[in-house]
Structure 1
């Protein structure tokens, strides 16, 4: 059984959407530290990483949806538009070793054959960055007192209200 990259990205973005809907308007500008991105910026970056990784696989220009800056409504629209666009793209069904995909990771130029792009770049760069930025949204929200659980992050865990390990 092969796991669909598109489905994997969609699931993570859906969890981000679920988390963002629970966050009050007034903390989207908050940061964990002064030299870190805000909750809003982390949410936008996470959404953008999904398309940054997937669009090149299906020969589409990488797009980013940025709605209304850093407001809750704008972030929700950004994630929803990203999900809709991702849904409109075709599935990757056949891999072509002769097809090369280029990108930049920081100051590093990446040039990989399509199969390696999936196995190395998607799994070792795109997904970790996507999850990092979703984790930052979660961490900032929790730090600001928003009631979220591991289930909000992964969609599987379920704990009774008031349950805690500590």
Structure 2
């Protein structure tokens, strides 16, 4: 097939745009509101390690690692691990977001955190179920002068999903 034809390039470009758009929608609607519990983080780590093991076994069976040192094999495995981490993150975060759970609400004092290169601006608050600080992006209300954050969430085995948050005086 000639690579200069539109029948090759149009589906390739449309698929690339759809993939990028899907990632942006996923990161805004699912990744920012889902916080993993310790069990969810363990599933994420195990999933990425096992997913990286699949191409490693394939390479070993095909004999592509013959004559390579152990350090080279470890480097290849770490490369596969780094490539498999986004796939495992997508699966675990989406599963945590889709699972049903118990609905609950709580109020806690918070502090405002401005946006950085890798995160959004919002309220930094202690989450009692996860036992750690989480950043809730852009809660409703006046984040600069209010002092209490009211959060409604859904909890399941993999973590929590923040459904709604508002600041109160």
Bin for the TM-score computed over the shorter chain = under 0.3
TM-score if structure 2 supplies the norm length? 0.27
If each structure's strand is expressed as a fraction of its own residues, which one has the higher value?
2
Larger Rg: 2
TM-score if structure 1 supplies the norm length? 0.27
Larger RCO: 1 or 2 (CA < 8 Å, sep 6+): 1
